Structure 1
Amino acid sequence: MNSKKFFKVFVVMIALIVSLVGCSKKEVESNENSNVGGVVIKNYGITTKYDKVPERVIPLSYDAAQILVALGLENKIVGVATAEGSHKDCLQKYQEKLSKLDIIVEGTPNFETLLSKQPDFVYATVYTFGKHGVAPVEDFQREKINFYCINGTYSKEPSISDIYTDINDLGKIFRKESEAKKIVDELKERENLLRNKIKKSDIKVMAFDSGDKTVVTSGKGIENEIISLAGGKNIFSDLQNSFEEVSWEEVAKRNPDIILVHSYDQGETAGTVEEKIKKLKNNPALENVTAIKNNNFVVVKLVEVFPGLQVFDAAERLNEKIIQIEK
């Protein structure tokens, strides 16, 4: 083959390669951003087919909103409900974007307020669909609003892997699978580091959310997993629900070494951390409890004990206290 012919063939081959690469790149962009092709997701016992990417999204808490922002979906969020938190409770790298979201209500919205924003997708905890929530599942279905219920708030045996399921499912729904995989891989790496580093202990831990006549504490929910991951033992791990009420006398009987205090100053159970700790210290039923006598309190943000991106922050902080006690 002479040099002119070789050059012509070479140019044609290069043009073909460039064309194929360009098409491939467009296909990837199309798969992530277009509404072509359906995605089938099973969640909360309901199978939903997403023929197109949701465009008007409402997360009903900041921990939920944070995951959507981490996936790069802030432009699809038409409003957020604060639940009992603030954007300032979230990871610093997402706070600026979260602060710009339109707050539809301080706390939990009623169904009419939610409908006024015309959402086509709602991301929320199981409590959204309960007696004191927004509305039953049937109401969402009647209005043709798709929803995703956070797995760790309703599964029978909540675990850290529920968080990964949420993120991967959201990645599929919004055609952000590569972004979801990156987030999950980073979280799994952190989880593995914790599991390899932390040793199990006999330190007894109780979560204190709120309460006057009775105590709202954590049972068999994601916080139980956090306590276990930190190396402690949840004294109420035998309770079947994520949050349950128990008596002060039962707390004294089980005698926790550490009390995890939930920090949030908004909503129906408002009260500063200082007020909560003072209440615990002044309760005569708890005067002989080890955690009270030794001033062993660990403060955790509410977003850190709900299934989301910050559960390992809570585990690490609790583990530091456990190590301190065992020295």
Structure 2
Amino acid sequence: MWRPVSGAVLTVGLLATACGGGGGGSASPDARGAGPRVSVENCDGEKAAFDSPPGKIVTSNASALEMLLRLGAGPKVIGTGFPPGKGALPAELAGQAADVPVLGRTVIPKEKLLGSGADVYVQTFRPANGTSTGPRPEEFDAAGIKVVELLSTACAAEHPGPQKDLSAVMGDIERLGTLTGTSERADEIVAGMRAKVDAVGERVAAVPEAERPTYFVFDFDAGTKQPSAVCGGQVANAVITLAGARNVFRDCEGTFEKTGWEDVVAENPDWIQLTVRNRGSAEADEKAFDEAERFLTSFPATRGLTAVKKGRFLRIRSERMTTPSVANAETVERIARTLYPDEFQDVR
């Protein structure tokens, strides 16, 4: 399992007057006049600087790839790991994603990554301590590759408290927009996400925190012997919170944690989200959701839960809320519509 780390900050030094590039020392004009100099501060505080927006990018997984495609920076992406499965992306992005070379079906092998010719490697998650087989910092340096980490996931462990909004995800989109010279498009995407989330917030605002329904994410693919808890540091916690629900495991630290069925029973959630990974087709996804629901309705420890007895299930793919994406805002609305149908009667 991946354990995330801290934050990434982007600053841009636009070409300026002879007096220099602005405050903080992280932005300066490009002496050759080639364009804005981009400085990126990663989780550990170290900065990666570019004389101009980099032209060759490798992404660690489909989440970072999708962000870049939405920004219109697809031509800059020369490779990815964990490529999007069939049906994972909207049709307008799927064709572009198919043109991106797959450097690894899972984690990109170190030799392939170092030999990719990339200027920058966008890393969505960091591996848990002691589990990484990827390049060391000095190996990235020798290959001329600079690493950019996503704030919302790679740096989640150092967020102060649980994630309760999508500001970190929106920040990632804005940062990648700055990095690739597509800031205008990034602003448009973020504005759309913010409008959707704000509209939901207005409709559920009248419900006191203590009266909001409790919510358990059942990650079927993580196993049934010992359930996985979505903790407060995960993007999914922000999605659940914004939708007007209370994640039953919001108080556990980090992003994910193994728990026991006795803990789920003790919480007795009002709603249960059935979560599976993309199976490649709507039919295959539904089959997996059916299996997850059958487990809960037949397993002795869970069949008596309030949500199970009342059939209060939501079926949402994992990728739509546990990784940073435009889909996070869409999922906020979907959950809220299910939990508060009366508040959305006037919305189609």
TM interval, shorter chain, is: 0.7 to 0.9
Q: Partner amino acid for 1:205?
A: Y
Alignment-derived partner of residue 292 in structure 1: 308
Larger of the two Rg values belongs to structure: 1
1:283 aligns with 2:296: no
Q: Match of 1:79, SS? A: strand
Residue of structure 2 equivalent to 1:206: 216
Distance 1:296 1:246 in 2: 22
State the alpha-carbon separation in 1 of the partners of residues 166 and 133 from structure 2: 26
Q: Deviations over 1:193-233 (max 9, x none)?
A: 22112344421101122223211121112111111111111
Report what 1:56 is aligned to: 56
Deviation at 1:263, TM superposition (A): 2.4
Contact between 1:130 and 1:136, CA under 8 Å: does it hold in 2?
no
The question of 1:236 aligning with 2:242 is answered: no
Residue 127 of structure 1: CA displacement? 3.2
Contact 2:88 2:278 in 1 (8 A): no
Displacement, 1:49?
1.2
Distance apart, 1:141 and its partner CA: 4.3
Range moving further from structure 2, 217-226 or 108-117? 108-117
Structure 2 CA distance for aligned equivalents of residues 298 and 134 of structure 1: 37
Q: Partner of 2:270 in structure 1?
A: 257
Q: CA deviation at 1:69?
A: 0.8
Match of 1:165 in 2: 171
Question: Is the alpha carbon distance of 1:322 and 1:131 closer, same or farther for their aligned partners in structure 2, counting shifts above 3 Å?
Answer: farther
RMSD, aligned α-carbons: 2.8
Q: Which amino acid aligns with 1:310?
A: A
Equivalence for 1:8: none
Letter aligned with residue 151 of structure 2 = N
Which structure has greater helix proportion?
A: 1
Task: Single out whichever of 255-264 and 192-201 deviates more from structure 2.
Answer: 192-201
- The aligned residue for residue 81 of structure 1 is 81
Q: In the TM superposition, what is the alpha-carbon distance from 1:86 to its structure 2 partner?
A: 2.0
**Structure 2 residue 332 is the aligned partner of structure 1 residue 320:** no
1:217 aligns to 2:233 (yes or no): no
Q: 1: CA distance between counterparts of 2:77 and 2:55?
A: 8
Aligned to 1:307: 324
Q: Check whether the contact 1:249–1:285 (CA below 8 A) recurs between aligned residues.
A: yes
Which residue identity does 1:73 align to in structure 2?
A: A
- 1:132 and 1:300 map into 2 onto residues whose CA distance is 29
Normalising by structure 1, what TM-score? Answer: 0.80
* Mean Cα deviation higher: 285-294 or 197-206: 197-206
1 CA distance for matches of 2:92 and 2:70?
9
Q: How far 1:134 moved relative to its partner?
A: 5.3
Going from structure 1 to structure 2, the CA distance change for 1:291 and 1:35 (only over 3 Å counts) comes to farther
Q: Is the 8 A contact 1:129 1:136 kept in 2?
A: no
SS for the counterpart of 1:40 is: strand
Distance (Å, rounded) in 2 between the aligned partners of 1:137 and 1:184? 33
Greater alpha carbon shift after TM alignment, 215-224 vs 102-111? 102-111
Q: 1:16 is matched with which residue? A: none
TM-score norm. by structure 2 comes to 0.75
**Equivalents in 1 of 2:129, 2:57: separation in Å?**
20
Q: Secondary structure at the match of 1:184?
A: helix
* Cα distance in 2 between the residues matched to 1:284 and 1:325: 33
Q: Compare relative contact order (CA 8 Å, sep 6+) and give the higher one, 1 or 2.
A: 2
What is the percent sequence identity of the aligned residues? 21
Q: Secondary structure at the match of 1:285?
A: coil
